[in-house]
Amino acid sequence: MKKDNIWLSPEGKEIPFTTETILTINGEEEGLYQIQITQWPKSTSLEIIHSYDLNDDPLDPCIQKKIYQVGKFSHSEFKEKKEQLISNAETWIKRRLPHLY
């Protein structure tokens, strides 16, 4: 799913970007892992987002997110290496959740 966003720079400049989540793995107790592509005006980045609840009470969730930056690439470099980069990110998640595979 692609989503258009605006980031406000420290200088107050609005910078458009698009995010696309390409893989979501629910590790239940370990939380949710997502591989996300972010397209900026001058580059593309690949991140692994780990979301998990710090609170055991489902009626009062406290969601924590960690973002692991896989890398930042020129648009052409990312297009060229996209499949391998995504595969590497998926392997990283699988190593953290071996019981799901």
Domain assignment present for 12 = yes
Q: How many separate domains does the chain show?
A: 1
Range of the domain at 14: 2-84
Contact 16, 24 (CB under 8 A): no
pLDDT at position 48 = 94
pLDDT at position 25 = 85
Residues 1-20: tens digit of each pLDDT: 688 899 999 999 999 999 99
Domain assignment present for 92 = no
- Beta carbons within 10 angstroms of residue 72's beta carbon: 15
Domain assignment present for 44 = yes
pLDDT at position 89 = 93
pLDDT at position 41 = 95
Residues 44-89: tens digit of each pLDDT: 999 999 988 877 776 777 888 999 999 999 999 999 999 999 999 9
Domain assignment present for 70 = yes
